[in-house]
Chains A and B, each alone.
Chain A
Amino acid sequence: MANKEITQQDILAVYPTVAQVLADALGCDVERVKPNVSLIEDLDAESIDFLDLVFRLERAFKIKIPRGKIVEDARGDLPESDFEQQGYLTELGLARLRQFLSEVPPERFHSPMKTADIPRLFSPETFCKVVIRAQRAGSGSA
């Protein structure tokens, strides 16, 4: 259930709430929150904002979002050494990440890319997908 493909319709269903939660967490107008903006580069989000966002999304959707799941899910069954080496994504790792973060415009991915820079790619749509996966995981285990 949790691995079922996420459709645009799924994303549209949660997007308005995610956008409002993001605007509240970042203290900006909801109009500034567009589906594919980079939260860090375009909306000045910092690490504390991501923490804020995750806890607000948990309350808004009554879900539990496992920590550090985005990168872990992107890696999937790939061994860690095939995904990243010495703090940089491997070519295979980068390909996995592009596929997993399909909502992120291709020009935002760089090679070589530091794993520490992965959050720079995150957009509101990335968090819509996080919410949908958490909802599915929650309903699957209920």
Chain B
Amino acid sequence: MAERFSAFSFVDRITELEPGRRATGRFTVPAALPDFPSCLVAEAVGQLAAWAAMAYVEFRRLPVAGLAGKTAFFGTVKPGQRLDLEVEIESCDDEAVAYGGCARIDAVKVLEIAHCVGPMLPLEQFDAAEVLRARLRLLCDAGAPEGRFSGVARPQLTAIERGVGELHATLQVPPAAPFFADHFPRRPVFPGTLLLDSQIRLAQELATPLVPRELNDVKIRSFVAPGQLLQLHARMLPPAASAATVTMSALVDGKSISTARLELGSRDKS
């Protein structure tokens, strides 16, 4: 099992914190990594929001992935760069946290998320409150040591089938992986952002050579456990030369667990 707060923790330091209202923080992408997917940038923003939400409810509840109304991708992040993170909490209670936020590199926005809602669940089912409290103190004081993230092995898409304007694939969630040590110690759950990363890769293959611009109406309906087998579907709405919309869905045993819509555009338009 990986050491705690290394394999899937994307906030090194919290520079401002108003629990339940707003927070700013940072994460330095280790220089030795081959790349840093945009979904992990979104995860970093979401994790900062989670700290602001958990602190507000005094670590009784923990937010999990649920809804993300809009995620805009403005640029890629390179290893060695420092992400400056910012979140605004719209509302927070024992049921849900609603928030938006962004990530910047050298004051330039690389990703923005809006209208996100994370259901708040009993924290003790997932993690230990005293461990998270101590971690928050560290993040707010000196900050955590940088460079401990050594990358995520992205699960391969297999059994890819192509239809007219659609692609289908199978995603085997690994039965064990370092990221389960953080997500979550008491109840391992395949991170929603890694599921979306797989779905985006499938959509991108369908819409080659277009690149993701905006991810809309993400809805994650249930947890994906280690070892589960998922069926992924990507369907293109009326195709166009310079832009495309792809609807994405993931199912386990025929039951929908995640849906979203991806807008793609040409690489040169930034």
Chain B binds chain A: yes
- Residues in A lying within 8 Å of B, measured CB to CB: 24, 27, 46-49, 51-52, 55, 59, 67-68
Q: Once bound together, how far apart are the Cα atoms of A55 and B217, in whole Å?
A: 12
Residues of chain A lying within 8 A (CB to CB) of residue B67: 48, 51-52, 55
Contact A27 B259 (CB under 8 A): yes
- In the assembled complex, the CB of A115 is this many whole angstroms from the nearest CB of chain B, namely 16
- In the assembled complex, the CB of A116 is this many whole angstroms from the nearest CB of chain B, namely 15
- 12 additional A-B pairs beyond A49-B219, A52-B67, beta carbons within 8 Å, are A48-B67, A48-B219, A48-B220, A48-B221, A51-B66, A51-B95, A51-B96, A51-B117, A52-B219, A55-B98, A67-B93, A68-B95
Contact B66 A48 (CB under 8 A): yes
On whether A48 and B119 interact (CB within 8 A), knowing A67-B93, A67-B95, the answer reads yes
Residues of chain B lying within 8 A (CB to CB) of residue A27: 217, 219, 259
- In the assembled complex, the CB of B145 is this many whole angstroms from the nearest CB of chain A, namely 36
Residues of chain B lying within 8 A (CB to CB) of residue A59: 115
Residues of chain A lying within 8 A (CB to CB) of residue B119: 47-48, 51
A-B CB proximity, top 8 nearest: A67-B95, A52-B67, A48-B221, A55-B117, A48-B66, A51-B96, A51-B117, A46-B221
Contact B117 A52 (CB under 8 A): yes
Residues of chain B lying within 8 A (CB to CB) of residue A47: 119
Residues of chain A lying within 8 A (CB to CB) of residue B66: 48, 51
- In the assembled complex, the CB of A129 is this many whole angstroms from the nearest CB of chain B, namely 20
Q: Mark B228-247 against chain A: 1 for CB-CB distance below 8 A, else 0.
A: 00000000000000000000
Residues of chain A lying within 8 A (CB to CB) of residue B95: 51, 67-68
- In the assembled complex, the CB of A27 is this many whole angstroms from the nearest CB of chain B, namely 6
On whether A55 and B115 interact (CB within 8 A), knowing A48-B67, A67-B95, the answer reads yes
Residues of chain A lying within 8 A (CB to CB) of residue B115: 55, 59
**CB contact list, B86-122 vs A, under 8 A:** 93, 95-96, 98, 115, 117, 119
**CB contact list, B210-233 vs A, under 8 A:** 217, 219-221
Residues of chain A lying within 8 A (CB to CB) of residue B220: 48
Residues of chain B lying within 8 A (CB to CB) of residue A51: 66-67, 95-96, 117, 119
Q: Once bound together, how far apart are the Cα atoms of A52 and B67, in whole Å?
A: 7
- In the assembled complex, the CB of A53 is this many whole angstroms from the nearest CB of chain B, namely 10
A and B contact pairs by CB, cutoff 8 A, 24 listed: A24-B217, A27-B217, A27-B219, A27-B259, A46-B221, A48-B66, A48-B119, A48-B219, A48-B220, A48-B221, A49-B219, A51-B66, A51-B67, A51-B95, A51-B96, A51-B117, A52-B117, A52-B219, A55-B98, A55-B115, A55-B117, A67-B93, A67-B96, A68-B95
